[in-house]
Amino acid sequence: MKTLLIIDSGLGQARAYMAKTLLGAAAHKAHVELVDNPNDAELAIVLGDKVPADSALNGKKVWLGDINRAVAHPELFLSEAKGHATVYSAPVATAAVATATGPKRIVAITACPTGVAHTFMAAEAIETEAKKRGWWVKVETRGSVGAGNAITPEEVAEADLVMVAADIEVDLAKFAGKPMYRTSTGLALKKTAQEFDKALAEAKPYQPTGKSESSASEGKKRVCGRLSSPADRRVLHAADGGCGGAVYRTLLRFRYRSLQRAGYAGGGVDADWWWLGVRADGACSGGLYCILHR
């Protein structure tokens, strides 16, 4: 059964990440397929205090559950959701006009190359700053287990501003036409208030570039995934015995600098594998790296 997981942002990014990871791992045994698009879902599981007033859920089976139970017994929780979910009907919105004149509504996307630490730390920083200002906020994390706390079409339509704090290319098509400000996870985390002020002053309507944007995104992902080329490894294998580690280190350093000049957006994930080799195997680190990264 295709299932949409909705997690209340008030529960915190760390708990939300844990819940989604555990439920994702248990999904196959429970005969559940987690999806991010509400239109594809047959069932929606909401972790929080109440079901959001979202017309995208109309006519779908919805289950309101407790995040602690989801974390403690993920497979059982999914089975209960399938068995006890009821058909949902969204209430008629009556406060739409008041919202337009009240505090600002902001939606945000956070993403980093590894999809773990900076993604969730930046999300929490954005949520904290928005609440300080009395704004409504929802942050969608593009983490290592997919999109978390997905922003719905209704929330996009009602938003005054979209903030994207991402160090990699992400799909932003659903925000077409909305005022958008783009920054990095580092600035969103360390200079949050400054970035909010800049977002208000510099946000511009976002226009997707279609197929070209998708191609650019794929190209950048390939660059970010690997700093070393097959040619680098052939040179290393041809190097002289115990010098392999030193030779590879020099090649990797030049490769990394050239990619930075070419617009490399990664955070040195590939280099981390090399350092694992250094710590594990001393002078033979080059050879161990090739085995790990083959």
Alpha carbons 288 and 278: distance in angstroms, whole number: 9
Alpha carbons 252 and 229: distance in angstroms, whole number: 9
Beta-bridge mates of residue 141: 110, 148
Residues 261, 262, 267: CA angle, nearest 5 degrees? 75
- The rounded Cα 234 to chain-centroid distance in angstroms is 35
Beta-bridge mates of residue 181: 163
Alpha carbons 45 and 212: distance in angstroms, whole number: 35
Alpha carbons 228 and 34: distance in angstroms, whole number: 34
- The rounded Cα 12 to chain-centroid distance in angstroms is 15
- Per-residue exposure over 48-81, b if at least 16 CB sit within 10 Å of its own CB, e if not: beebbebbbbeebbbbbbebeebbeebbebbbbb
What residue type is assigned to position 187 of the chain? Answer: L
Helices (H), 163-284: 185-190, 192-202, 211-225, 230-238, 244-261, 269-281
User: Would you name the residues annotated as active-site residues?
Assistant: 112
Alpha carbons 251 and 233: distance in angstroms, whole number: 9
Residue 128 contacts residue 145 (beta carbons within 8 Å): no
